[in-house]
Amino acid sequence: MSKTRLLGKTPAQLKEIAASCGLPSYTGGQIAQWMYQKKVRSLDQMTNLSKAARERLSQDYEVGVTEPTEVFTSADGTRKYLFPITFEGRPPFTVEAVMIPDEDRRTLCVSSQAGCKMGCKFCMTGRQGFHGNLSAADILSQFIAIEESDDLSNAVFMGMGEPLDNYEEVMAAINVLTADWGFAWSPKRITLSSIGVLPRLKDYLEGCKCHLAISLHNPFADERLEMMPVQKAYPLEKVIDLLRQYDFSGQRRVSFEYTMFRGFNDDKRHADALVRLLRGVHCRVNLIRFHKIPDFPYGTSPDPVMEMFRDRLGAAGVTCTIRASRGEDIFAACGLLAGKHNTA
* Catalytic residue IDs: 96, 334
Distances (CA, A) of 276 to 36, 258, 280: 45, 15, 9
Would you say the C-alpha torsion 19, 20, 22, 27 has a positive or negative sign?
negative
Question: Are the beta carbons of 296 and 254 closer than 8 angstroms?
Answer: no
Would you say the C-alpha torsion 45, 54, 48, 64 has a positive or negative sign?
positive
Question: Using alpha carbons only, how large is the chain's radius of gyration in Å?
Answer: 21
Calpha distance 94→114 (Å, rounded): 7
Q: Tell which residue, 125, 192, 212, 132, has the closest CA to residue 160.
A: 125
Distances (CA, A) of 140 to 44, 97, 163, 263, 305: 20, 11, 14, 40, 39
Tell me which DSSP letter residue 36 carries. Answer: I
